[in-house]
């Protein structure tokens, strides 16, 4: 999995790149009036000292500024590979293609973003929004989208409705207010696709706001990084929903959801949740995070196929805030805990909303810390696989039945509190060990079960095996098909465990026989075939 060092380095490079884009250099263009793009007379060029009249129009590879009050009509094909800063008006934008590496920057309040071709690797950036109407044409299928508006004083949405952002979203600054992706009206459910990463590095970002009334699905295929300033939890606010009306299902198909030194919240209560939906490994890291001003119901589902690494994340709020949401591990999912307190240490949300904390018995649970751990009492009594991958010790917190595989990958599994292998359970030694040795065939079964005799057909000896989950007085008898008792193999008390008896039919003729095992609570009968 990606290390946080690599993540931080990537973020630093992104921020550094975005802050040096506007450095004025020789050859930059700016408009000097109104007219058509191909007319050199409406352009000035920077010669290193002064702006002078241009001899040719810009090609699209330069840094180009449309100044406030100017209007330029694009009358020929322009392939933008440089930077186009728009403080005025652009027409003829169907002739504009923003190529890979090209940046369009909307440096004004209101106005219109060009309706043009946004190729893979292109970027649309908004820097000038303050208040009032959103920029026109903000609901396009952009590649990269950047919002950096330090003067913003009003919440605004960009009206994405069944839009796809094919690259990354970066939120750098929203002033004193919030940016929202959408605000669907009643009867107009909305799905938004985000193919790349989401970076919330400053300001407030949410799927929707208070005027939303229709359900929203957000599918993200990259990672989400909401990372604020250490010591200032209000520098970043990344929230699943800031409106109480809609259901919001935010499906996470990427590798990571990381929220650090920030605030997260949910105004939609139980109707809104993050869902780890990738068929493979994912990471949840929440560190030094406040849940709203006092509390918020931020809920998570781990869907079938997801292998979620929790690390030492604690779903508990900083600054005396409380996460009242739920954490649910669904059938077929896997979670790994590196917290010394195990699952209880990670999952400290209260579960008051969102259906309550839930841990499926046919999910798998792993422990991969670097110091001594306990599994925690939140882990269910029955699990599918149990994975021990801690170089020190992991101690079982309560008796547990393992229906799948106990994988001992590293360290010592302290099974002083015993575990039970289910009928199909097994132990895989992959570098780890048990503190208390066990015989897999003598561990306490989860239920009463009678196996088919082996071999079958047989001549003249066969073995009869059964699982006994409790101490009981038992009888094991053989009958013919007419119900006549042939033999009593065993009668008496047996301890809980897996037992095996041998039956010798040397004195019997070929045919079909029955064996019956009766306990204090159960009776089972199976057929066996003797062939001589």
Q: Is the pLDDT at 186 greater than 90, yes or no? A: no
pLDDT of residue 5: 36
Q: What's the pLDDT tens digit per position in 505-529?
A: 999 999 999 999 999 999 999 999 9
pLDDT at 450: 94
Torsion 268-269-272-276 (CA) sign? positive
The whole-chain average pLDDT of the chain stands at: 93
Instruction: Dihedral sign for Cα 445, 447, 452, 453, please.
Output: positive
**Better-scored residue on pLDDT, 428 or 36:** 36
Residue 30 burial (C-beta neighbours within 10 Å; 0-12, 13-18, 19+): buried
Query: Cβ(514)–Cβ(478) under 8 Å?
Result: yes
Joined together, the tokens standing for residue 82 give 């440089």
Six-digit token string for 527: 């057929």
pLDDT tens digit sequence for 204-261: 999 998 888 889 999 999 999 999 999 999 999 999 999 888 899 999 999 999 999 9
- Grouping H, G, I as helix, E, B as strand and the rest as coil, residue 26 is coil
Confidence of residue 21 (pLDDT cuts 50, 70, 90): low
Structure tokens that stand for 155 in this block: 């919440």
Report the distance separating Cα 77 and Cα 90, nearest Å: 14
Tell me the per-residue pLDDT of 101-136, one tens digit each, with 9 for 90 and over: 999 999 999 999 999 999 999 999 999 999 999 999
Interstrand relation of 103-106 and 123-126 (parallel, antiparallel or unpaired): parallel
Mean predicted confidence (pLDDT) in 488-494: 87
- For 132-151, the pLDDT digits (tens) are 999 999 999 999 999 999 99
Judging by DSSP bridges, how do beta strands 386-395 and 419-421 pair with one another?
Answer: unpaired
Quick one: pLDDT band at residue 452, thresholds 50, 70, 90? very high
What was the pLDDT predicted at 11? 52
Residue 479 has pLDDT above 50, yes or no: yes
pLDDT of residue 404: 92
Domains of the chain by range and CATH?
Answer: 449-530 (2.60.40.1930)
Average pLDDT (427-445) is: 79
Alpha helices in 317-412 (DSSP H): 342-346
Average pLDDT over residues 352-377: 97
pLDDT of 8 strictly over 80: no
Please give the pLDDT value at position 446.
82
Q: What is the pLDDT of residue 423?
A: 85
Q: Are 166 and 196 in contact (CB under 8 A)?
A: yes
Query: Quick one: which of 233, 236, 238, 314 has its CA closest to 274?
Result: 238
Residue of higher predicted confidence among 497 and 114: 114
Question: Tokens standing for 435?
Answer: 């503190």
Question: What pLDDT score was predicted for residue 278?
Answer: 98
Is the model more confident about 472 or about 22?
472
83-87, 92-96, 244-248, 484-488: the lowest-pLDDT one: 244-248
């Amino acid at each position: 999995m990606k290390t946080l060092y690599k993540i931080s380095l990537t973020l630093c490079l992104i921020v550094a790149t975005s802050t040096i884009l506007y450095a004025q250099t020789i050859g930059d263009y700016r408009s000097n009036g109104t007219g058509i793009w191909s007319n050199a007379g409406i352009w000035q060029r920077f010669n290193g000292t002064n702006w002078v009249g241009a001899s040719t129009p810009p090609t699209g590879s330069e840094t180009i500024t449309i100044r406030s009050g100017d209007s330029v009509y694009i009358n020929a094909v322009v392939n933008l590979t440089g930077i186009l800063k728009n403080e005025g008006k652009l027409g003829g934008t169907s002739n504009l293609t923003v190529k890979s590496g090209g940046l369009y920057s909307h440096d004004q309040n209101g106005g219109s973003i060009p309706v043009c071709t946004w190729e893979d690797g292109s970027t649309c950036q908004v820097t000038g929004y303050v208040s009032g109407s959103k920029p026109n044409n903000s609901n396009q299928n952009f590649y990269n989208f950047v919002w950096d508006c330090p003067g913003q004083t009003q919440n605004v949405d960009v009206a994405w409705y069944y839009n796809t952002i094919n690259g990354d979203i970066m939120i750098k600054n929203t002033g004193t207010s919030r940016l929202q992706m959408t605000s669907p009206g009643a009867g107009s459910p909305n799905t938004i696709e985000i193919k790349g990463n989401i970076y919330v590095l400053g300001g407030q970002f949410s799927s929707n706001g208070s005027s939303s009334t229709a359900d929203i699905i957000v599918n993200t295929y990259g990672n989400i990084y909401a990372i604020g300033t250490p010591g200032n939890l209000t520098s970043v606010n990344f929230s699943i929903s800031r409106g109480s009306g809609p259901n919001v299902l935010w499906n996470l198909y990427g590798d990571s959801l990381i929220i650090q030194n920030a605030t997260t919240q949910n105004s939609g209560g139980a109707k809104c949740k993050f869902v780890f939906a990738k068929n493979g490994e994912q990471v949840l890291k929440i560190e030094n995070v406040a849940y709203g001003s006092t509390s918020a119901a931020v809920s998570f589902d781990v869907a079938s196929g997801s292998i979620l690494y929790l690390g030492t994340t604690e779903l508990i709020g900083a600054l005396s805030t409380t996460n009242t949401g739920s954490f649910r591990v669904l059938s077929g999912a896997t979670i790994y805990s590196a917290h010394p307190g195990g699952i209880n240490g990670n999952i400290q949300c209260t579960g008051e909303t969102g259906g309550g904390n839930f841990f499926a018995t046919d999910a798998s649970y792993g422990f991969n810390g670097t110091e001594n751990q306990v599994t925690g009492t939140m882990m269910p009594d029955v699990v599918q696989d149990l994975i021990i991958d801690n170089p020190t010790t992991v101690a079982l917190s309560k008796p547990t039945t393992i229906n799948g595989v106990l994988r001992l990958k590293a360290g010592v599994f302290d099974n002083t509190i015993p575990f039970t292998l289910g009928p199909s359970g097994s132990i895989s030694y992959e570098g780890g060990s048990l503190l208390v040795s066990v015989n897999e065939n003598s561990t306490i079964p989860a239920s009463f079960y009678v196996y088919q005799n082996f071999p079958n057909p047989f001549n003249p000896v066969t073995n009869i095996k059964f699982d006994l989950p409790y101490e009981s007085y038992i009888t094991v008898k053989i009958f013919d098909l007419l119900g006549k008792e042939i033999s009593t193999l065993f009668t008496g008390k047996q301890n809980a465990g897996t037992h095996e008896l041998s039956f010798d039919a040397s004195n019997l003729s070929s045919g079909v026989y029955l064996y019956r095992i009766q306990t204090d609570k159960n009776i089972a009968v199976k057929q066996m075939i003797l062939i001589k």
